[in-house]
Each structure stands twice: as structure tokens, then as C-alpha cells.
Amino acid sequence: MFAQAEQRLDAGRFEAAEQALDCADAVIGDEGDARSRYELTRRRGILDFRRERIPQALERFECAVAQSRTLGDRTAEARDLKNVGAALRRLGDFRGALRSLTASLEIQRAQGEISGAVLNNIADVYRELRESETAMRYYRDALAFYRAKGDPAEAAHVQETRAEVALDGGDTRQASAWLQEALAVYRNQGNRVYELRVHDGLIRAALALGDVPQARRWSAGALALAETWKLPLPAALQLQIARTARFEGNTASAAARLREALDAAAEGDPARVPLLEELATVQESMGDVVAANATLRRVNAEAAKLMRAQHDRQLDWLRIRFEAAEQQRTIAVLESENRLRGAQLRQRTLLLWLALVSGVAAALGFWLLLQRRRQRERLREEARRIRHEEELARYRREADALAEDRSLLQTLLDSREDAVCLLDAEGQVLAANRAGGLRLGAAPASPPVGQAVSAFVAEADRPALLAALERMEDSAAQRLEFATRQGRTLLASLEPWAGGDGLVVLALRERADAQAQQAAPGEDRAQDGAAPSVRDAFRRVLVELMLAVIDAWEGATGTGRLELAERSRIWRVNIDDGRLRARAMERYLAVSKLPRNPRWRDVLRSAYFVLAQCEGLSADTRAALQTRIDAVLAYTRRDAFV
């Protein structure tokens, strides 16, 4: 996060940099390590400094100094003192800046690691104080440091600054030599931005020497460099190019360039003042005295605005200092009050101990009573848990039994030579032997199990097949003819499965095979599978289980049978006369309406769904429901039904 913030800061994306630092702050947290908190404070100060929020930056830099001292990191302390000096210099407190920078330099000298940046900053402060000789001495020390370090780019920066001091002091030829030395370094390194920037001083030096042709050559070189590398022209360079044009007598071009630079400069940019001054000079040269006077008024306004901004920054700094002092005073008062309250608290504590000891006995008795009650509740909860685990084990055994039935069914189907499929009441293929899948047109690698049988039938014959399936709950057997999607005509025989549960056995024959068997007319092969008395008892027990399931559901959830059908997805919900009905479920609520081939597994699934989903069922209701489930399972396990 710190590296990401630094990249965004270098790119001038201050808001994005602040977001990265906020994210780092969240990662560190209030209890983060001191080193990370220090880095966060320092980097926030740098961000405020770059955003021209100098008083806020100064406050953070001073906090970073205190943190680095606490950590015992002298290198970091020297760096933070340098930052404090830079902020004080921007606020106009040059003496304070010198104190901080000198302290940073002393620490570095003690460690034997002097930084050229500190020397350069000290020289900049002395330059602001107009002590040129002292400034040049520190610039020479910084230059020697960078050259010894083997950093030509930083050495060239120092040479640029020395050239500016020399130009201000009138030593133009020395300034020009230093600037050309810096230009050679930048060209050698391919740093086009710095190469363009140094042309500003070269043009200024040429104009100071009265060499207008040389100034024109430097100007043309700067323009060509900017055009070739698509670089923006700095305001200071624009100013010198415009001055060159004015000296050549091309005042119109100079005025146009100055206006272009002013449009590009942001409000509050100090570079606007010299640009406006030069524009006023150009306008005066053009004979437009009125415009020149107006421009000079703008110069005064811009200069006054800059002075006010500087003054405001200093006032902000003083205000922050005052607020910090007030906070320290408030903290001292609060600490005194806390000590007084601590003494009062100790006195009250002695009094409370007496009351506490007397209340412990009563609390202990109450605690013992509460523990006894909790123990009884834990025993009851453990008993409920054991019963629940026993029920889950029973459900798993029943599920395994149902899975075994399915396996036996598949084995039975595979043993048959004729094409046969097993369907549920909705027409879904539950099992099919190889011949059945081939007759339906399914690929050998993609059996039809899990798909609707109507998906393999020609669209024109699907309604007849679906109607026959709907009649199977009350029909012994049905026969019909349909075409597959591949155009093959099949004769289908629908018979109830001998195991009950509303399942349907679909036997498929080719037309030729069917004609060969026409000599033996079809018989109703559906057998009851059991004696009438046993069958009637099974049907009655099945209806009683369904009624008990609905009663348990309504008592536990407060909703009706439609909600049970929708939540369980076992029973289909239909729309009759504009209202919802579960017609298939309702047939299982009375023996007289019960289908001839009942789907007893769906009834069992409904019972298991209620037991699993309704946690509010009482123990008696669960026991009664389980008893009815066992009764149905007892009938289904007889040889007549399995």
C-alpha cells in the first residue's frame, strides 16, 4: 500500500494516493506496530506537503520526528527533521528551518552518512535569506557529495541552482558555464524533461550578456526539443522565449506566447507574476499603454494574492501551534483531574468492598441455584440430541434401503431382453435397460435416466403420451402408439409397477414385433400384488400417515398443505379456477380418492421432510408420526409389495 501510494503521488494523483494510505491505515489498525504507524504519519505529511497544505504537513512531520525518536532510529529522525525544515521554509520561518536542517545535518555527521539533500536544503534557506556566499558554500558541499557518490543527475541539479544564484549576483558567464555542464549531463542520460528545463537559464544568461542571436538559438532548440518529445513548456521557459522575441522586435509573437503560458498556469501559481510583468512590458513596447497599465494592475493583484496566501499559511501554522498548546494544556488539566478522581475512587473502593463481601454470599447462593437449573436443562438438551441422532440414523437406514430397492430395480430391468423403462408419475425416466434406451433413440453414452420420456417422442404424439401417464394412477394398463423424434413408430404398453408407489413400467416394441404378437391379445396384467384385505389395510394406513403429516406441518409452521407442497417440491401445485390447488396431494387424504396405484414413496418422503424441517414438533408428535411411518414401511416390505 505504501509503494502504491508513492507511485500515485509521483504521478500527481493525490486523491488516489490518499485512498491507498487510508487502506494502509485500515490494515495497520489501532493496535498496529509502531514502525508502520510511523511510516503512515510520515507519508501523510509528504502528501499534505505536495498538496500545498504546508501547516498540516508540518504537524505530521513533527509527529514523525517524535515517533522516530521513540523508535531510536537516528537515520529516520534526521530525515524527518529535514522535512520539518522544508515545511518551515515554505511557511517563511527561515530561522526555524535552519535550526531543523542543522540538527538533521549534525545527526548525519555523527553517523557518518551526510545527505546531499540536507546540504542543498540549507543552501536554499540561505539563498532565501539573501546570504549568497553562505548558500554557495553549502551548494559546493552538496555538489562534492553527489560527485563522490557517483550521482551526476543530482550534481547537475545543484549546478542549475548555483547558476541561478550566479545569475542573480550578475556572474553571467559562470552561470552559463554551469548550465551547459548540466545540459551535457542531461543529454548524456537522455533526460529530456531536465534538458528542456535547463534552456530557461541558458536563454536568460544569453539575454543578460546581450547575445540575442544565441538566445534565439537556445529558444529554437527548446521549442524543437519540446515538439520532438511532446513535452509541455514550463512557464519560466515560456517567459524567456517571449523575452527573446521581444528583444528581436517580434512583440506580437511574444504577447501570444505569454498569454498562452498564462492560460496554462493555474490560479495561485507564482510564475504568473513574472509572466504578467513581461506582458506589460511587451504591451508598452507595442504602444498599448492602456493595456500595459491594466496588466500591471493584474500583476499587483496577483502579487497581493500570493502574499495573502503566504500570510494565510503562516496564520494556519500559528493557529495549529496554538491549538496544539491548548490541547497540551487540556491534557494536563485532565491528568490532574484524573489523579484527583483516582484518589476518590480508591476511597470509594474501600467502602464498596464491604458491600461486595456481604453480597457475595447471596450471589453465590443464587449462582448455585442457577447452575442446578442449567444442569437440568443440559440433561434435557442432551436427551433431545440423542433422540435426534437416533432418528437421523433411522432415516439413513431407510434411505439406504430405498437405494437398495433402486439398485434391485435396475438389475431387474437389465435382466429383461425386451425394451422397458420405469417412469415416475410425472413421466421422468427413473431406470431403463439398454434396449429401452435404444428404442427411445437415446445414445448409448447418454442414457435417458433423469429426463422426461416425452423429450424422446415426436411433438405431435406428446399430448397423448402425457394424458396416458396422468391416467395411470387409476388404470391397470394402457397401450398406445407413438413416433420417436427419429421417426420410428413404437407400440408402448403402460403398466403399474408391481412395487406400487405410482411408478409405471413402459414396455416398447417395434410395429413388426407387435403384429407378430397380435395373435395373443393383451391382457390386463396388473395384479393387486396382495390379498384384498391386506391391500385395503395398506391404503388406510397410507392415508392416515398423509393426514398425520399435514396435521404436524400445520401445527409446527402455521401454514397449510399448499405451502408443504411448494416447500417440499414433492407434490405438484396446479391452478384451478384462478386458485392454487395440490390435486395430487389431496387424493391421498381419503381412502375413497386414493389412486389405485398410490405413490407411497412420495408420502414417506413428505413425512421425512416434515420431521427434518419442523424443529418445533413435540416429542409426542414425532413419536406418533414415526409410528405411522413404520406401519407403512412394514406393508411395503411384504413380498406382495416389493
For the record, the C-alpha cell of 121 comes out as: 536544503
pLDDT per residue as tens digits for the range 409-449: 666 666 667 888 888 878 888 888 888 888 888 877 778 88
122 pLDDT above the threshold of 90: yes
CA angle at 331 for the pair 327 and 334, rounded to the nearest 5°: 135
pLDDT per residue as tens digits for the range 396-413: 787 676 666 667 666 666
Helices (H) and strands (E) in the chain, counts: 24, 7
Question: Going by DSSP bridges, is the β-strand pair 419-423/579-581 parallel, antiparallel, or unpaired?
Answer: unpaired
| Maximum distance among all Cα pairs of the chain, rounded to whole angstroms | 130
| Selection from 514, 506, 510, 438 nearest residue 469 by Cα | 506
For the record, the C-alpha cell of 588 comes out as: 391421498
CA angle at 482 for the pair 480 and 485, rounded to the nearest 5°: 155
Q: What is the mean pLDDT of the chain?
A: 86
Sequence length of the chain is 642
For the record, the C-alpha cell of 211 comes out as: 547575445
What is the pLDDT confidence band of residue 103, given thresholds at 50, 70 and 90? very high
Q: How many CB atoms lie within 10 A of CB 8?
A: 19
Helices of type H across 209-288: 212-229, 235-247, 251-264, 272-285
Q: In this predicted structure, what is the pLDDT of residue 74?
A: 93
CA atoms 546, 552, 555, 561: torsion sign: negative
Contact 142, 123 (CB under 8 A): yes
| Selection from 479, 500, 525 nearest residue 597 by Cα | 500
Q: How many CB atoms lie within 10 A of CB 237?
A: 25
Cβ burial of 365 (10 Å; 0-12, 13-18, 19+) is exposed
527 pLDDT above the threshold of 60: no
What is the pLDDT confidence band of residue 641, given thresholds at 50, 70 and 90? very low
* Helix, coil or strand: residue 433: coil
Q: Say which residues have a Cβ less than 8 Å from residue 206's Cβ, sequence separation at least 6.
A: 176, 212, 214, 215, 218
* Helix, coil or strand: residue 483: strand
pLDDT per residue as tens digits for the range 549-585: 889 898 888 888 888 888 888 887 777 666 777 777 8
Question: Which residues, in sequence order, are bridge partners of residue 641?
Answer: none
Which residue would you say has higher pLDDT here, 18 or 499? 18
Q: In this predicted structure, what is the pLDDT of residue 516?
A: 47
Give the mean pLDDT of 63-68. Answer: 94
Spell out a b/e string for 250-273, using b for 16 or more CB atoms within 10 Å of the CB, else e: bbebbbebbeebbeebeeeeebbb
Q: Which helix (H) or strand (E) holds 506?
A: strand 504-510
Which of 285-294, 318-327, 358-367, 447-456 is most confident? 285-294
494 pLDDT above the threshold of 50: yes
Cβ burial of 383 (10 Å; 0-12, 13-18, 19+) is exposed
Q: Which helix (H) or strand (E) holds 306?
A: helix 289-415
Helices of type H across 91-131: 94-111, 116-128
Give the mean pLDDT of 458-481. Answer: 83
Backbone Cα Rg of the chain? 48
**C-alpha distances in angstroms, 238 versus 259, 265, 272, 284, 289?**
10, 11, 11, 19, 23
Q: In this predicted structure, what is the pLDDT of residue 410?
A: 66
375 pLDDT above the threshold of 70: yes
Q: Which amino acid is at 121?
A: N
* Helix, coil or strand: residue 259: helix
Q: In this predicted structure, what is the pLDDT of residue 252?
A: 93
Give the mean pLDDT of 17-46. Answer: 91
pLDDT per residue as tens digits for the range 284-318: 999 999 999 999 999 999 989 888 877 776 677 67
| Selection from 306, 301, 255 nearest residue 278 by Cα | 255
Q: In this predicted structure, what is the pLDDT of residue 615?
A: 81
C-alpha–C-alpha distance, residues 473 and 476, integer Å: 8
Q: In this predicted structure, what is the pLDDT of residue 523?
A: 39
Q: Give me the CATH topology for the region 416-516.
A: Beta-Lactamase (3.30.450)
Question: Going by DSSP bridges, is the β-strand pair 429-432/489-496 parallel, antiparallel, or unpaired?
Answer: unpaired
501 pLDDT above the threshold of 70: no
Q: Which helix (H) or strand (E) holds 495?
A: strand 489-496
Which residue would you say has higher pLDDT here, 399 or 505? 505
C-alpha–C-alpha distance, residues 465 and 458, integer Å: 10
pLDDT per residue as tens digits for the range 204-233: 999 999 999 999 999 999 999 999 999 999
Q: In this predicted structure, what is the pLDDT of residue 151?
A: 93
C-alpha–C-alpha distance, residues 183 and 163, integer Å: 12
Q: In this predicted structure, what is the pLDDT of residue 440?
A: 83
User: Model pTM?
Assistant: 0.49
For the record, the C-alpha cell of 246 comes out as: 521581444
639 pLDDT above the threshold of 60: no
Q: Which amino acid is at 353?
A: W
End-to-end CA distance of the chain: 69
What are the residue ranges of CATH 3.30.450.20 in the chain?
Answer: 416-516
Least confident range from 109-113, 453-457, 514-518: namely: 514-518
What is the pLDDT confidence band of residue 242, given thresholds at 50, 70 and 90? very high
Chain centroid to CA 79: how far?
Answer: 36
Q: Which residue has the cell 408428535?
A: 621
Q: HSE on the CB side for 344, CA within 13 Å? A: 6
Q: How many CB atoms lie within 10 A of CB 560?
A: 12
Contact 493, 465 (CB under 8 A): no
C-alpha–C-alpha distance, residues 589 and 632, integer Å: 15
